[in-house]
């Protein structure tokens, strides 16, 4: 496995891999490190589809707000490299902030409407930071395919829109959310939860399943579905709900009444210092009412 810190090295290695076999499909899995089974599922998907797999590990300061957890964000780089090696990754790109932004970057990438609701409201500038770094990583690696988790559904929608609007020659692949046996979505931030909060956090997935059950039972009124999920989360104990919403999975715009098709139920809740998000794609059948 090759480990690169510099952009020119990555470009040379990718060019070398392509020149050995021009038909080789190159896959990119962008991450912020602290790799867990969710990240590894993206790497496995890339390994299955692609002849050459690049993983980037970069805690991107541009996507953190002023009061967010960038300094505390876990960075177990030795462990991460071991996991990449044993998962069959070909190249890890692990740039410094200096390498990514040192020469000054006055360009912004705004994916406007899709970035505005949900986490965009709570974390101003977050998706512009994500869109910029993903654009840079795609331009550096020039992969055929790039892999992202459905766990961050709004991020996936932003990146799909970005790649389409900017005519990027890359296929964006969304991968299913990997969960703990009790339903909690794996996240690098779960390490911040104390024992009680960890237990309480299972309410995120339970609230999403409750929405799905109600939709399957014929409920179509977003406000009522959201209210019931709010109640369930509040009953779980002390926490702060950022949002519970039902939105269109592509545009991320709120839906007041559910129509036949697909709806994204999305939640964000703070347990102590730790803000967690989760979501579920729900099939809405034909309205029987």
DSSP string, 190-221: GGG--HHHHHHTTHHHHHHHHHHHHHHTT--B
148 binds ligand AMP (CB under 6 A): yes
> Please, what is the minimum distance in Å from the beta carbon of residue 271 to ligand AMP?
17
Would you call 126 a catalytic residue per the annotation?
A: no
38 binds ligand AMP (CB under 6 A): yes
Q: In the stretch 191-230, what mask flags binding to ligand AMP with x, by CB under 6 A? A: ----------------------------------------
Among 95, 129, 143, 149, binds ligand AMP (CB under 6 A): 149
Q: Which of 39, 126, 196, 230 is catalytic?
A: 39
- 8 A C-beta contact, residue 45 and residue 175: yes
Pair of tokens at residue 30? 């962008």
Among 42, 114, 163, 252, binds ligand AMP (CB under 6 A): 42
Q: Buried (b) or exposed (e) across 76-112, using 16+ Cβ within 10 A?
A: eeeebbebbeebebbbbbbbeeebbbeeeeeeebebe
> Please, what is the minimum distance in Å from the beta carbon of residue 34 to ligand AMP?
7
188 binds ligand AMP (CB under 6 A): yes
39 binds ligand AMP (CB under 6 A): yes
137 binds ligand AMP (CB under 6 A): no
41 binds ligand AMP (CB under 6 A): yes
- 8 A C-beta contact, residue 147 and residue 173: yes
The three-class DSSP label of residue 166 is coil
User: Could you give the CA distance from residue 110 to residue 130 in angstroms, rounded to a whole number?
Assistant: 10
- 8 A C-beta contact, residue 113 and residue 131: no
63 binds ligand AMP (CB under 6 A): no
User: Could you give the CA distance from residue 15 to residue 35 in angstroms, rounded to a whole number?
Assistant: 27
185 binds ligand AMP (CB under 6 A): yes
93 binds ligand AMP (CB under 6 A): no
Beta strands per DSSP E along 100-239: 145-149, 171-175
154 binds ligand AMP (CB under 6 A): no
Active-site residues: which are they? 39
**Residues interacting with ligand AMP, by CB under 6 A?**
31-32, 38-39, 41-42, 148-149, 151-152, 175, 177-178, 185-188
């Amino acid at each position: 496995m090759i480990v690169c810190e510099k952009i020119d090295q990555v470009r040379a290695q990718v060019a070398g891999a392509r020149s050995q076999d021009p038909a080789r499909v190159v896959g990119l899995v962008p991450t912020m490190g602290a790799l867990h089974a969710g990240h590894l599922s993206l790497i496995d998907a890339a390994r299955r589809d692609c002849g050459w797999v690049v993983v980037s590990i970069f805690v991107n300061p541009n996507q953190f707000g002023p009061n967010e957890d960038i300094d505390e964000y876990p960075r177990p780089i030795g462990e991460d490299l071991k996991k990449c090696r044993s998962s069959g990754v070909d190249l890890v790109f692990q740039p410094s902030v200096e390498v990514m932004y040192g020469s000054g970057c006055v360009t912004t990438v705004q994916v406007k409407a899709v970035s505005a609701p949900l986490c965009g409201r709570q974390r101003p500038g977050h998706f512009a930071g994500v869109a910029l770094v993903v654009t840079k990583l795609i331009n550096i690696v020039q992969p055929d395919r790039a892999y992202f988790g459905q766990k961050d559904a709004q991020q996936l929608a932003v990146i799909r829109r970005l790649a389409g609007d900017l005519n990027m020659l890359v296929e964006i692949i969304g991968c299913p959310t990997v969960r703990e046996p009790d339903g909690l979505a794996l996240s690098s931030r779960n390490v911040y939860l104390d024992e009680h909060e960890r237990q309480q956090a299972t309410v995120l997935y339970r609230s999403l399943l409750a929405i799905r059950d109600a939709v399957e039972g014929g409920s179509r009124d977003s406000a009522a579905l959201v209210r019931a999920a709010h109640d369930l989360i509040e009953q779980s104990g002390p926490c702060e709900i950022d949002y519970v919403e039902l939105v269109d999975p592509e545009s991320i715009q709120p839906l007041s009444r559910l129509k036949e098709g697909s709806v994204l139920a999305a939640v964000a809740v703070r347990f102590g210092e730790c803000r967690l998000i989760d979501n579920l794609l729900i099939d809405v059948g034909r309205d029987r009412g």
